[in-house]
Amino acid sequence: MKERLTMELPLGSEIMTTVRLATGSMASLMRLDLDRSEDCKVCVTESLLLITHAGFSRARVTYYEDGGLFVRIEGEGERGAACAVPEDEISAALLGALAENVEIIREGMFSVSFAFKA
């Protein structure tokens, strides 16, 4: 698994466009078709929402090349009070529906990882 890009970012709606564009670029680099590239953007956005609701204000997004695109997103820094919303259930189910090898770790750290095979 080869690391291709890592970004550390503050979690706010204003940064989402940047993250989605970077995700689209990485998906294109890994030869995902347009539909899967869009699905990947949805998964990254949903993961960041889950991490925000888990109480983090920063996240680290890492893109790996692994027979396609593998993405790991982790909460960074101090963890504040969680504010889970009912839509979190939808986010998690959507990740499972769109991506492969989805793993959500909620204990201690908070991370979401998933893959899109080329």
Tokens of 87: 């839509």
Q: What mask of x and - would describe binding to other proteins in positions 51 to 90, judged by CB under 8 A?
A: -----------------------------------xx-xx
CA–CA distance, 29 with 24 (Å, rounded to integer): 9
Query: In terms of Cα–Cα distance, which of 104, 82, 98 is closest to 23?
Result: 98
Taking CB under 8 A as the rule, does residue 38 contact other proteins?
yes
CA–CA distance, 82 with 65 (Å, rounded to integer): 32
Smaller CB distance to other proteins: residue 66 or 104?
Answer: 104
Tokens of 51: 């991490």
Q: Which of residues 17-36 bind other proteins (CB under 8 A)?
A: 17, 20-21, 24, 34-35
Contact footprint for other proteins (CB under 8 A): 17, 20-21, 24, 34-35, 38-39, 42, 45-46, 86-87, 89-90, 92-94, 96-98
